[in-house]
Every structure is written in structure tokens, then in C-alpha cells.
Amino acid sequence: MFRNNTYIRTRHIILRVLYCSRMTRKEMKMKKKIEKIINKETILYIFFGVWTTIVNFGSFVIFEKIFGSEYYLIANVGSFVCATLFAFITNKYFVFESHSWEIRVWVKEMISFVMSRIVTFLIIEEFGLFFLVSICRMGSLKFGMIDGKLAAKIILAFIAVLANYILGKFLVFKNNKK
């Protein structure tokens, strides 16, 4: 899947860009902070986050075709379910490396993961989508080949990714590496 040597090469390339110029003390401190952020977990979260987003957007388009464009909120719920299942598996086993098969641990992680995703889904994605499409009238806009609803989902996805990473790291999969 995502081997250590691939991670090392990716991190090496990113860090090499940071080293290319002469740096002041302030810049060196900033570089060290960036080095702490750019680690295997972060790179894997971004990698699988992209795939989760593809699952989310792909299933949203499919569900919108099935239910009709006027039922975009129902399509959004269906895409949320598909993306959440995919994200739980990839976050548990690959990103946060929680390999426990104890039923108690697995159920606890699944419940807290789903609950945290429901919170971000309802507040950021569902309410945000309703707000941008219905209140701000973004649904009637067109951005090239992307309609306003999909553009709103893209904007909200960035906000949701950050919130989900923080909740996953510090709430769901904390201290569960086995």
C-alpha cells in the first residue's frame, strides 16, 4: 500500500524544498514546526482523505442522479454514509494504526468515529450546504463545468477535513495503537 520508503521519499522532497534557501532564525523555527507536522500520519491522512473525498463526491453525484437534483440533501446523506465507512477503515488501520481487534475497542472507536463525523457532517456539511445553496443562492451558480452545489461541497470539504483530522487524532484514535 503506502510503504515507508514512499513516505520517506515524499517527506524528503517536501523538506528539501524547505532547505533550498538561506534561512533566518525565525524561518528555522518555522521550518522545525513544519517538519513536526509533515510526518507519516499527516501524509497518510491527506492521501486517504483525497480518496474519501472522491468516494463522497462520486456517491453524491450518483445519489443526486438517482433521487433527483431537488433532493440534494438526501444525496448528501447517502454520500456521507459511504464516505464515513471508507474513512473509518482507512483511518483506523492505515492512518492512526489502531490495529486492535478487541470488539470493545472496535465498537468504541466506531461509535466515537461515527459520532464525531455526524457532528461535523450536520454542522459543517449539511447545514453549510443548505446555507450556501439555499440562503446564499450558490446552487444557481455555475463554475465552468461544476454547478454551484458541487462547488459548495468542495468549499465545505476543506473545512470538514480539518475538523475531522483533529477529532480523529485527539478523540477517536488517541492512544489506540496496538
Q: Tens of pLDDT along 114-150?
A: 999 999 989 998 899 999 999 998 888 888 888 888 8
Q: What is the mean pLDDT of residues 11-22?
A: 65
Residue spans per domain, the chain: 1-38, 39-172
Average pLDDT, the chain: 84
Angle between helices 148-167 and 40-67 (to 10 degrees): 140
Per-residue pLDDT band at 12 (split at 50, 70, 90): low
pTM for the whole thing?
0.67
Question: Cell 451558480 maps to which residue?
Answer: 141
CB 44 within 8 A of CB 1: no
> What mean pLDDT is predicted for residues 15-30?
69
String of DSSP letters for 49-68: HHHHHHHHHHHHHHHHHHH-
